[in-house]
Each structure stands twice: as structure tokens, then as C-alpha cells.
Structure 1
Amino acid sequence: MKSEISGVKLRFSKNMGESGSGAEVEIKGFSVSKGIAHGEAFVLLHKELETPVYEIRDSDKPAEIKRFEAAILKARKDILELKSELSAKVGEAEAAIFDAHILVLEDVAVMQETLSMFGEKNYNIEYCYSSVINKFIAAFERIDDPYIKERIADFKDVSRRVLGNMLGVQTAKIGAFSDPLVLVSSDFAPADFSLVDKSKILAIVTEKGSQTSHTAILSRSLGIPCVVGIPEVAEKVSSGDMLLVDGYNGMLVINPSERTLSHYTELESAQKEIALVYATSLPYPSVTPDGRAFSVEINISSPEEISEDSAVAACDGVGLFRTENFFMEFGGFPDEESQFKAYRDAALAARGKPVVVRTLDLGGDKNLSLMKAVNKEENPFMGYRAIRFCLDHKDIFLAQLRAILRASAYGKVKILLPMISSIREVEKSKLLIEQAKGELEKEGQPFDKNLELGVMIEVPSAALTADVIAAECDFISIGTNDLIQYLLAVDRVNDLVANLYEPTHTAVIRTLDMVVASALKAGIPACVCGELAADPIFAPLLLGMGVTEFSMSPKSVSEIKFLLRKVPYEKARALRDEVLGLKRSRQIASYLRSFHYEALERFLK
């Protein structure tokens, strides 16, 4: 039996709902998101939409073009809504993978060729669009370039959405008519999250994907167990089959026996017990056994994320407030008053704990409607974004600076400048901050006159001149995600070069140590707000380098706090010295894992 939903086939087993109907089968894959799940399978098979072809009269051409434009606009709206929805749950950085879909959707060459073919051949617009997309895909498949081949999936995903709009294919959420299920697909695309009520996903199992694939990133952020690399999984599994997904060891078990279920129940219980052990650290101060203070903070995209959740309430503050998500949800550039209320609410919710507000990090790869003034770029990741955009649009920047300053009257608010590549950008920003302060003073608006200013180090030029930058700010925050990408020239969400994304690369280790040393020499704190801050293998090394503030997703707070409370600073310092002497990435990774195991062994037996 088969059913279809918005270009997706749902394959059902004859024995749907019957458990234990077949022999147990174990298949090894790769774990990309931890956790254990047990439940019925739901198989998604992407279906190629059948595009009709017919001629259009000249008198009907204007209406046909409007139909095409409406389909593009709806696709754009749907992608941005999905991105916004996920941004609120997983953070802007992870949800930014949908920016690639927007770039494909608005590709000028595709648009021009579609309209050109439509004008010359007089065929219906969806047929012309489909023909052009297929032409591009065929051309990309002939190019021996890993990055280009990676973009094929984006073209297929976006074109399915546009064609579905023009063909009137309706989208239905899987969760609207099902109990929680294990989703199985040859390649579960980011856009497929729009088909699913996230609360109904027990786990995700795919044939394609890697540790840094889009689905892996979102699964980890949503706390959904995910196993990839299962060959022909969509053919081996039918909807209704009982599955057990081991996201710790990368294992899929089809039709698990009672004995296997019992074993994994024990494993899951053990993991829950470990989580409870980690949580015991939450009420206590963030101090190492030998008295070295540190801070474990959270990354947020909206004030609402500062909740009464135990981990959030026990954190030491907000290490990163990503303000661009607020701009995207607003649908344009919000005025000063709207921004002030958001930043004020965050400051009040933090109850005296610090809130680091990052100024607008929008532009380049985040090619949104409110950035129409920004031209499309060949390499947006290194383009017109963040501080570069803000310094060229002083009215927008000043409105945000004024709003942050005003919010500082309600709590311990700090300003963080993103994507800094030179000291000139810091100096220009400081002049604008002083201008905003002067204006507020004249208006009688209260603000913290000693508000601290920080700089993000995420560009190699900033890392190499960290000593110069440190002399002009109050703290440094290292954005390890971008810094590693730029240092190693590796796109971390490109499956084809993912193996080259190595946080343990000696260049990365030495750069991190150099940046932290520059901050310490200037007498200012060094913070880390990238993924490495939440990595239990890396956290002790960062502590040993001299990092004092670790900012991360709320779900990682208890584990990192527990770990650092058990690691004496002197041991972490010795770890740093040892690691800096190693010359191979594998040696470094092995040494860090051994240190982590030894640090926690007696506490987690």
C-alpha cells in the first residue's frame, strides 16, 4: 500500500502495526546524534513530480508569469518560515543551512533561462522551469568539483517545492495523523522538517549523510537520535516495521527481540543516570577543584529562551544573544523601540547575570528580503555581512546600538561585534557607540556608562592580530565554527570535504592558544561561543589555555559544568602544554579522549 504527500511517497508494510513479525536484523551505520529510540518506522521516498506540458496562448502569458512569480514567492515564504521555526528551537547558526535554498530559489540564471524558454517555446511555465532545473543538474553532475555536486541536492529540494506550488500539490504534516515514529529515508533533507511535527519524531535513519550534514546538525540541535550511512535503508525497511535506533553506537535494529530491547533499555537507563549525575553540578558554583572560576553560559536567539528550565536557570548568563533572528522574524529592519523591548526583556529574564548581545550578523549568505540592497555574491561567506554591512548602514547600526545601550539600564548587558577582520572596524564601531551614548545622554535616557565591548575572533586576520584588537576591547569571544572553516578552507556542512574539518588540527590548536594568550596578556577574559565550548573532549583543553567563559546550547550546560568542576586547572594547564607539543591531529584527538575518560572515570562508574 502506498500514499503520497507533497511529492513524498510513504511506503507501508503489509504488517503495519504488528511488531516482531520478522527476524531481528542489525545494520551498522554512523552515529551523528546521540540517543536511543524504539518505535514504528515511517518510510519517506521522494517522488519525482510529473510535470505536464502544453502550449500557452500569447494572451495568457502575463497570467502564466504571475503564476510562476507567486510559486517562487510562496516557496521563499515557506523556506523562511521553516528557518524561523527552527531558529527558535536550535539557534540561528544551525538553521542558516536554509540560506543555501534561498540562493538557489533566487538564482538569476535559472530565472532568466526559464522566462527565455517560456517566451520562445510557448510551453507552460512549470514545464519550462523543470526543464531548466534539469539542465542545470545535468551540467553540475558533469563537473568534477565537490562543492558543485553538493549543491545538486539543494537544486532538487527547492525545485520540488516550486513545482509543487505550481501544480497545486498540498502539503500535510505527518504528525497530524500519526503517533511518534522513526523516520526512514534515503536522504532526509532539511526541508522535509516542514512535513513533520518535530514532537512526533522518535529518531531519523538515512542512507546518506555525515557528521556535518544538514540533517545531522539539525538532529543534534533538536535532541533527536540520528544514524546515517545505512545502505539502501529505504528499501530494507517498510513503514510499520519495528525499529530500534542506537544513536550512541550508530546501530539500526529491525524487528528487535525482547532480549535486545531489554539490553537497550538498560543502556538508555544508564545514560539517563549519567545525565542525572551531570545535573547534580547545576546548583553549585562554577569553580574547578583548585579554585579557578569559570562561567558556563547559554546561546539564545530570543528572550523567551531564558526559561525556568533547571539548566538554563543554573547557567552563569547569556554568552551569545543572536539578534539577527529577531530581525528575520520581524520581516524587516525593526525600529529602535522594538529592539529595545527585546533586549530589555532578555536583561530582565537573566536576573542580573550577564547578557552578551551580538550586533547584527546578517548579509552575504543570509540573503533575505530585508537585504535587497545587497548584491548577490560569488562567495557570500566571505562577503558583505555583519560588521561590514553595519558600518556602511550607520542608521541601522545606530538604532541597534541605542537599543542595546538603553537595555543595559535593566541588567548586565554587553555588546559583541561579529566578523571583525581589522582593528579599523573596531575603532569605527567604538566611534558609533560613543555617538549613541552622546545622543542618549542628551535625551536623558539611562544606560550603563561602563557597558563592556567585546569582539568576535572568527576570521584568521583577527586571530593573527588578536593582541592589537585585545587592546581596544573589554573581552574576546572566539567563534570556533567559522574560525575553523576559514583556517582550514573547509565547508563543515559539505559532506564531500567533511573529513577535512578537524578541530584537532594543529593549526586550529595553535591559533586558539595564541588568541587566548593575547587576551590574557591584555588582562581581558577569553570566551568561546562555538561548538567547541560544548564539546566535553575539548572543554578541559580550552580551560587549560585560559578560557574562562564557555557559551553553548542549554542542553550541554550540565555536562560541561560537571566536567570542569572535576578538572583541576593545573591538570588542564598540563594538558594544554602536552597537546601543543603534539604534531598530528589523530594524536591530539586520542590524547584529549584519554584525558576526558580519566577525568570522569571514577564519577561515572
Structure 2
Amino acid sequence: MMAAANAAREILRRLHEVMASKSGAEAKLGQVVRIVAELLTSEVASIYLLRDGMLELFATQGLAQSAVHVTRLSMGQGLVGTIAATREPLNLAEAKEHPDFAYRPETGEDDYHSFAGVPIVRREAAIGVLGVQHREPRDYDEVEIEALQTVAMVLSELIHGAGLVDDAQAARARAASSGPLRLSGLKLVDGLGRGVAVFHQPRVVVEHTVADDTDVERARVYSAFTRMREQIDTMMGQAEFAGGGDHHDVLDTYKMFAYDEGWARRINEAIETGLTAEAAIERVQARTRARMRSIDDPYLRERLTDLDDLSNRLLRIVSGQLGTAAKSGLRDDTILIARNLGPAELLEYDKRYLKGVVLEEGSLTAHVIIVARAMGVPVLGRVTDLFAQVSDGDELIVDAGNGALLVRPQAAMITSYEAMRDVKARQAEKFAAVKDLPAISRDGQRVAILMNAGLADDAQALDLTGADGIGLFRTEFQFLVSATLPRRERQQALYRTVLEAADTRPVVFRTVDIGGDKAVPYLQEGEGEENPAMGWRALRLALGRAGLMKVQARALLEGAAGRTLNIMFPMVSEPWEFREAKALVEGQRALLARQGHDLPAHVRYGAMIEVPALIEMLDVLLPLTDFVSVGTNDLTQFLFAADRANPRLADRYDWMSPAILRVLRRIVREADAAGVPVTVCGEMGGRPLEALALLALGVESLSITPAGVGPIKAMVRSADLGSLKAQMTGWLDAPGVDVRTVLAAAAAAQGVELG
């Protein structure tokens, strides 16, 4: 094949001539396959078009001409049908070994081994497929696949202009039935919402792909970049971001991509091959999306999501199609539909009408989730085929807590939703009534109900929920949403803000837990680990990067001046790690004292018990600590050797298993004997029945999500913990007892409120 740039440029030049000729549409397609076969040195080049719901061989160079208009495949059938159904390219050295291969003897393709194909897409629907074949087995270069995708863009324009495929027919081919539907997704922000479907941004349809003048197209892109950057700068200058904070950190990363010269260069290189500005942006965006699909790391995927969001913004500017749902304004209760959403774009919506967000992609680490949580908007993500199943204006119900989207709900579904909403409202009223009351059981036992947090805004939930304090403040959130290592002054300001919001209530700061699956671009250690949860992360990384930990230690000490500072170290595996971490903080404390800085009135040190090995060393660890916290999420996965992120294992191991309960009982007993208070953090403590089990083991302090404070407090106030403690001892000592079943029965007999 000729040099990459020259091949792409020559293909587009020749296609431009074909588009401008007076030949009929079928003749033009015949010319296209000959050009593709020649310039990609392919023995076969073929075009299939969607006709009457079937993919019909419409033009070919290399296959039997008698098969044209005869060979037909349904969506999802064969390699061609698979490409059309998934809208994803295929690159195969041995086509016949693919499980979806379908043999068509009339085409005469017996002698060909390798195959590469790409979808021809218009308005989010596959309207055809372009493929090439070779006799010899070979993998196609990325440059060749990109060249095919560029040709497919031009073909989309040609096919639409000639009326060979009806856009509406293509949309119907991938649309679901018009009846009610339930789609599953991932809970990103909990909550219920009902409204009509509004698409955040109907995709800009690129009508002209081949440039007449590349200099003009380059100037259009430069102008669009300037305007887009001005928009981002203006947004960051708005009053609500002037004081910094988490939202500002998110937008700062967003701005970094807007000014990325590498991105601009790739778009200009695409224009150099002969594409229009719009087609070049879309071509580079398609490559970004392909990379997103191949990257497992959630942090890197989120960075590419930001870039995808900016690509959409740039495409709207350069095409003049600037209207978004936010710009036109929401007038009714709305469920916003998007493939992905940038944080800046969500902030443009009127939250009075925004009742929910549903994303075809999305992840728990997405920047937009931070913003949505602050806005109080439920978000459901990872909804497969969202755009195929939902139409603009459809009535929707989002039940993010149960991971469900109800599309075009029937009357019974709406009634059920309204009942759920009423129940939640009544529960909220009940929890509000006990908000300011202590969590004291019926037999007089006091339980501390603390909350987990990670953002400056989260501290405001202390007053809203009636929590006794913050039992786990995840300091790594500030690191994860920042494009660079947060400076000491910014860290210090965050810690001071949180302590001031908490007032006299305790706050436990967990030192930074990054690395592993919480990768940040400015720390490259541990990349590509096979088992990131058990790798170079948390305290291991912090001790290995002493400079990072010293900066955080100074920020914590300065931010807590005049107050009590509670510092907790994550993922302690052996007592020496705790000693070393404590000594590092004490060294910074002594340094600040010598420099005359104001210091905390008291500093208390704690350890997270998450690694099973540490349980065997509690007799050595506990005398060194002022408190300990049990991280049930990591402790459970390490005990059972079960990756909690693996969906196949998500429900396999029960928190009410005697194995985990016996381990927790041992920790509580040894800590009590040493006079060291124990708090349980993690999801286990936020579930009423599981929390009741913890209290029956002797746990007296829980740190949970803010939403769980009310239900857990109500549960505590309705329980007789003394009798349950005695029963729990018997259950765990007797073999074969189903603790979940017997505890639920005992709670029901007591009338314990489990929600």
C-alpha cells in the first residue's frame, strides 16, 4: 500500500471526482470499489447497503458480479451483518475462523482468507458496510482501517444524496418496538425521576466530507478552536467557580484538553488528507471512541470521555449547529439522554426541570458524577443500546437505585413509581423526625452514626442528615479530579473547609489512596498491574513517594490548626508501615513547630484494617493506634479472593457469611481488650440488616453514605441490641447456621425497622 497520508489523500481526491461526475449512483459505487481495491491493493472491495431490512451486495470489485443484488444478509448475520449491527469495524486475518462467518457460495469468495470491514453510518444508524478481502492471511494496519472509515464517511453522503437508503428505514431497522420497555444500567447517582426524554445533543450530521479547499477548512477549525476555548474560559470565570473547589478542579482538567495541541494537530492532519473540517473532527473523534472502548482503566476512559465531549462542542461550533437542549431550555420535567456527558455541559441545565440523566456509557469515576451528585440529580449509566431504544419525547422513569430505566411506561408502572416516590417521601419525613435525636437502641446502647465523604460540599450533609461526624473523608478525590498534583495550599484549604463545616463533630481524614485502579496521569507508577487492588497503591505508594505524603501531612496539620486532627492510613499490611507513616507525619509536625506554624491541638492516628495479614498482628498494631476502622469492601474481597469489580462475583459471597462475621468479631474483641475504638466503614454498614449484624457483634460506630444515615439511625432506635448480641454469639459458634435468615427473623420478631 502507498504511504499512509498519500493513500488517504489520493483516495479522497479520486472520490471527489466520482462525486462530481454525472454518472448514476450505482455506477459511482462501482467506481468507488475499484478505487478502494486499487489504492489499498486489495483483491476484493465490496459495498453492502441496507435495503428493505436486509444488507444487499450493491457493488463489488473481485467477487462474482452475478452476486450483486442477489447476496443478502440480515442485520447480525455473517461478518457484514455483525458490523452493521454493532457499528464496529472487524479486522480478521482468517475470516472463516470468526464465529459469525457465514459462507455465501454465489460470491466466489472461497479463495480469500483475510477480511476487514467498517460500517457506513448516518444519523447513528448503520446504512451499509464497506469491506475488503485478500487471498493471503494478514492483519490490516490501523492506517488501512482508518482509510476505509474515511471512505465510509464519503459513501454515507453519496448514498443519502442518491436516495439509495431511506434514513427512516435505517432508523426503524435498529429501533425497538414502540411498547413499554425496561432497560438495565449501572447506578451512578441514586434517586428516582420521571420525565420526557430529551436528547442532550442530536448528533451533527456531516453532510459534506470532501474538502474543496483545505486552507479554508483549516481556517474554519482554527476559528472554532478559538471560540470553544473562549467558552471554556468564560465558564470557568463564572461566580460559582471563582472560589475553587471540586467543580473548578474538574473544569481545569476539561480546559487542559481544550488547549491540547496534539488534538488540534490530529484534526489538521485529517484535513490535509482532503476532509472538510466537520469530517476531520468526526474522523478523529471516531478514533478516540475506539480507544475508549479498548481501555479498561476507568480514569483514562474518563479523560477520553472529556475529549469526546469537547469534540462534540467543537463540531457544533464549526458546523453552526450550536443548539443543545440546554440552550433551547427545558420546559417540562426532563430525563436527559446522552452517550456521555461532560461536567460543564450538565451545569448548563436548569435543575428545576432536570429529573434524571441516562447515559449509554458513563462510569462511577466520571467527572460529571461529581457535579450530578452536587445537583441532586439521579444518574443511570451503561445503558446498552440506549439510542436505539429511546426516542425523543418518550416518557421515562429512572430508578437509579435499582439500576432500571422504564421506557414508555404503562399506567401500572407509573402508579408503582408514584407509590415508590410517596414511600420515599414518607421515609424522608420519618428520618427527618429522628435527624436530631441520638442513635440509641431500645435497651439504651449508644451507636455513633458517621458519614463518608470526599468533597468539600459533602460536609454540608452533616446538618442535613444528622450524622455524628465524618468517619471517613477520602482525600484522594481531590487528586483524582485534578490534572496535576494538587498544591499544598489547595489541599490545606479543603481540609480546613471540611473541619469548619463539621464544627465540633469529628472528621477522620484518610490519607491519599491512589494507585492501582485509581490511576492519575502525573504518577505513572504501577501502570499495567495485573491485580491493581493488591498492587502499588494507597499507603504503599505514599511511603514510596515520601514527598507526596509529606506535602499532604503538612496540609492536614496546617488545615487542622487549633483543632483535633484524626489521620487514618489506608491498606496497612504490617505494623511497621503504620509506624513509618506516623513517624513521617510527626516529622512534619516537628518541622512546622520549629517554623512557628499553628498546629492542631491534638493529633490522633488510626489504621484501616483491610488486609487479612494485619489481623494476625493486632496485638502489635493496636497499642500503636488511637483508633482503627474496618474497610469491609476490601477486607471481604481479600478474604474471599474475589474481585468486587467482577460482575460474576458481585453477589457470590455474602457479607453475612460466618467467615466474614467471625473475622469481624475477632477484630472487635481484640480492639475492645486493648481499649481501641473500632469504626466499620464501607457498604456493609449502610445496609440495615448487615448493619444490625455488625452491632450484634459489638460494633459501636458506623461510617456510611449520607443517604444511609437516616435508615440506619431509625433501625438502631427500634432494636434491642443486647438480646441480639447473645443470639449472634450462638449462631456463629454453631456450624451451618444461615445468619442472614435467622437474624432477619429475630429482627422481625422485635419489630426492627429494616426499610
- Is the contact between residue 213 and residue 493 of structure 1 (CA under 8 Å) also seen in structure 2? no
| Aligned match for 2:676, one of 507, 524, 546 | 524
Q: Secondary structure at the match of 2:702?
A: strand
Question: Structure 1 residue 254 and structure 2 residue 404: aligned?
Answer: no
Amino acid at match of 1:344: R
1:116-135 mapped onto 2 (5 Å cutoff): none
Offset, 1:530: 1.8
SS of equivalent residue, structure 1 residue 471: helix
Contact kept, 8 Å, 2:297 with 2:517, in 1: the verdict is no
The offset of 1:414, in angstroms, is 0.8
Please state how far the C-alpha of 1:378 moved relative to its aligned partner.
0.7
Superposed CA offset, 1:299-346 (max 9, x none): 23345543386434x321121223334456776555555544443343
**1:39 corresponding residue in structure 2:** 195
SS in 2 for 1:291: coil
Supply the AA of the counterpart residue of 1:542. Answer: L
Give the aligned partner of residue 361 of structure 1: 513
Distance in 2 between residues matched to 1:186 and 1:303, nearest whole Å: 28
**Structure 2 residue aligned with 1:160, among 290, 304, 308?**
308
* 1:353 and 1:412 in contact (8 A); partners too: no
Give the distance between the partners of 1:432 and 1:155, measured in 2 at CA.
33
Q: Give the structure, 1 or 2, with the largest relative contact order (CA under 8 Å, sep 6 or more).
A: 1
Counterpart-to-counterpart distance in 2, 1:409 and 1:478: 27
Cα separation, partners in 2 of 1:185 and 1:465, compared to 1, 3 Å: farther
Preserved contact between residue 668 and residue 698 of structure 2 (Cα < 8 Å): yes
- 1:423, CA displacement in angstroms? 1.9
What corresponds to 1:278 in structure 2? 431
Amino acid across the alignment from 1:41: A
Q: Which residues of 2 match residues 420-569 of structure 1 at below 5 A?
A: 420-448=572-600, 450-488=602-640, 492-493=644-645, 498-500=650-652, 503-504=655-656, 507-569=659-721
**Matched AA of 2:408:** I
Quick one: structure 1 residues 88 and 381, their matched pair in 2 at CA, closer, same or farther if it must change by over 3 Å? farther
The offset of 1:375, in angstroms, is: 3.8
> Would the aligned equivalents of 2:611 and 2:634 in 1 still touch at CA under 8 Å?
yes
Q: Shift of the alpha carbon at 1:580?
A: 7.4
- 1:377 maps to what in 2? 527
**Structure 1 vs Structure 2: percent identity of aligned residues?**
25
Distance 1:496 1:406, change over 3 A: same
- List per-residue Cα deviations over 1:397-448 (Å, max 9, x = no partner): 3343234334444333211112322222111112223323333443454545
The offset of 1:283, in angstroms, is 1.9
Taking the aligned partners of 1:319 and 1:222, their CA distance within structure 2 comes to 24
**Aligned partners of 2:658 and 2:213: how far apart in 1?**
62
Query: Are residues 447 and 400 of structure 1, via their aligned partners in 2, closer, same or farther at CA, if it must alter by over 3 Å?
Result: same
Q: d(CA) in 2 for partners of 1:601 and 1:527?
A: 22
Q: Write out aligned runs for 1:3-152 (5 A).
A: 26-28=180-182, 32=187, 35-43=191-199, 47=203
Structure 1 411/157 Cα, relative in aligned 2: closer, same or farther at 3 Å?
Answer: closer
Equivalent position of 1:288 in the other structure: 441
**Aligned partner letter, 2:683:** E
Q: C-alpha displacement at 1:260, in angstroms?
A: 6.6
Amino acid at match of 1:276: E
After superposition, the Cα gap between the structure-2 partners of 1:187 and 1:521, relative to the gap in structure 1 and judged at 3 Å, is farther
Q: 1:343 aligns with which of 495, 502, 508?
A: 495
2:329–2:350 Cα contact (<8 Å) kept: no
2:451 paired residue number: 298
> Alignment length, in residue pairs?
559
Q: What's the TM-score, normalizing by structure 1?
A: 0.69
Deviation at 1:171, TM superposition (A): 9.0
Letter in 1 for 2:470: V
Q: Which runs of 5+ in 2 are unaligned?
A: 1-121, 126-176, 236-240
Instruction: Report the equivalent of 2:238.
Output: none
How big is each residue's C-alpha offset from its partner over 1:84-125, in whole Å with a ceiling of 9 and x where there is no partner? 99x9789x9xx9xxx9x9xx99xxxx99xx89x99x999999
Give the secondary-structure state (helix, strand or coil) at the position aligned to 1:452: strand
> Which structure 2 residues correspond to residues 163-242 of structure 1 after superposition, within 5 A?
163-164=311-312, 167=315, 172=324, 174=326, 177-179=329-331, 181-183=333-335, 200-204=353-357, 224=377, 234-242=387-395
SS in 2 for 1:299: strand
Give the aligned residue type for 1:468: V
Give how far 1:500 is off. 4.9
Greater shift, 508-517 or 493-502, is seen at 493-502
- Residue type matched to 2:471 in 1? G
1:318 aligns with 2:470: yes
Counterpart Cα distance in 1 of 2:700 and 2:456: 24
In 2, distance between residues paired with 1:137 and 1:582?
A: 53
C-alpha distance in 2, partners of 1:290/1:452?
31
Offset at residue 533 of structure 1 (A): 2.4
Structure 1 segments unaligned to the other structure (5+ residues): 1-6, 11-22, 79-83
C-alpha deviations, 1:229-282, integer Å up to 9, x for none? 98866445432233445567757262654x875665444223311221122222
> Residues 435 and 168 from structure 1, CA distance in 2 versus in 1: closer, same or farther, beyond 3 angstroms?
same
Shift of 1:469: 2.6
Is the CA contact (8 Å cut-off) linking 1:582 and 1:588 kept in structure 2? no
Closer, same or farther in 2 for the Cα pair 1:391/1:598, shift >3 Å?
A: same
Q: Is the 8 A contact 2:396 2:405 kept in 1?
A: no
How far 1:571 moved relative to its partner? 3.8
Contact 2:334 2:356 (C-alpha < 8 Å) held by counterparts? yes
Retained in 2: the 8 A contact 1:184–1:234? no
- How many angstroms apart in 2 are the aligned matches of 1:475 and 1:597? 33
The question of whether the paired residues in 2 share the 8 Å contact of 1:242 and 1:254 is answered with yes
2:563 alignment partner in structure 1: 411
Per-residue deviation, 1:475: 1.0
Residue 47 of structure 2 aligns with which residue? Answer: none
Within the candidate set 377, 388, 393, 2:540 is matched to: 388
Q: Give the deviation of 1:460 after TM superposition.
A: 3.8
Structure 1 residues 374 and 264, CA gap change in structure 2 (3 angstroms): closer
Instruction: Give how far 1:552 is off.
Output: 2.5
Distance 1:163 1:386, change over 3 A: same
Paired amino acid for 1:296: I
Deviations 1:348-370 (A, max 9, x none): 332322121222333454444xx
C-alpha distance 137-517 of structure 1, shift in aligned 2 (>3 A)? farther
* Mapped partners of 1:244, 1:156: distance in 2: 29
Asked if 2 retains the 8 angstrom alpha-carbon contact of 1:407 and 1:413, the reply is: no
1:338–1:27 distance in 2 versus 1, CA, 3 Å: closer
Distance 1:8 1:309 in 2: 47
Whether the 8 Å CA contact 1:28–1:230 is kept in 2: the answer is no
The answer as to whether partners of 2:181 and 2:407 remain within 8 angstroms in 1 is yes
Amino acid in structure 2 at the alignment position of 1:278: F
TM-score if structure 2 supplies the norm length?
A: 0.57
CA distance in structure 2 between the partners assigned to 1:321 and 1:270 by the alignment: 31
Aligned residue for 1:306, secondary structure, equals: helix
Please say if residues 351 and 411 of structure 1, whose CA atoms lie closer than 8 Å, have aligned partners that are also in contact. Answer: no
User: Contact between 1:172 and 1:195, CA under 8 Å: does it hold in 2?
Assistant: no
